[in-house]
């Protein structure tokens, strides 16, 4: 169990999160793993929302929403791979 406290604009909110893991119960290691997970999640969702406007999308019939989500995530993955390849080429 992780209790997350946030102070914003003179208001304190508290959230209780539960995680299942096979890792041994070491608080620092578990905290690091949880923060890493959410860092990755937040970065991906931010890119999808800001770049592709995913939160404002009105696509909603049949399999179209899943297909569009797949294409958007594929574009993000391809962009990341190309960006890394360019950075490696510039260093060498």
CA dihedral over 31, 34, 37, 40, signed as positive or negative: negative
With vertex at residue 43, the alpha carbon angle to CA 91 and CA 88, rounded to the nearest 5 degrees, is 10
Q: What is the pLDDT along the chain (92 residues), one digit of tens a residue?
A: 778 788 888 899 998 888 777 877 777 888 888 778 777 666 777 777 777 777 777 787 888 888 888 888 888 888 888 888 888 888 87
Task: Tell me what pLDDT residue 69 has.
Answer: 84
Domain boundaries along the sequence of the chain: 22-91
Nearest residue to 68 (alpha-carbon basis) of 57, 83, 78: 57
């Amino acid at each position: 169990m992780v209790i997350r406290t946030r102070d914003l604009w003179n208001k304190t909110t508290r959230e209780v999160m539960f995680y299942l893991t096979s890792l041994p119960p070491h608080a620092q290691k578990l905290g690091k793993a949880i923060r890493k997970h959410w860092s990755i999640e937040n970065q991906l969702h931010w890119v999808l929302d800001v770049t592709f406007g995913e939160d404002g999308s009105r696509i909603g019939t049949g399999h179209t929403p899943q297909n569009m989500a797949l294409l958007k995530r594929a574009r993000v993955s391809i962009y990341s791979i190309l960006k890394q390849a360019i950075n490696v080429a510039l260093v060498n």
